[in-house]
Structure 1
Amino acid sequence: MSRGLRILVYVAGAAALGFVTAWTFLAYLNPDRVVDFATLLQMCGIPIAR
């Protein structure tokens, strides 16, 4: 595995972990905000299963 690809994998993993962390924090603070965020993602073409 090349060095650039390894860095890309680490950055993508960190971004995914950050996304999940932010999602759970929003769910803790205000569950309605999570539904609004999921609706926004779906409007952008990213499918989210409930």
Structure 2
Amino acid sequence: MSTHEVRYWMAALGVDEKTLRQAVAVVGVSAAAVRDHLGIGRLTTCKRPL
């Protein structure tokens, strides 16, 4: 992920960089999978990969 993408997803998901990168390492780059892993759920219909 680029620096811009990391910042975008940190803000969108309300998590820090370490948490985001750990989630992506576990479940991959699917936004829905990362949200589910973090317990956030699908708040939006965004299909942009992480």
TM-score of the aligned structures, taking structure 2 as reference length: 0.27
Q: Return the structure number with greater relative CO, CA threshold 8 A, min gap 6.
A: 2
In our comparison, the structure showing a higher alpha carbon Rg is 1
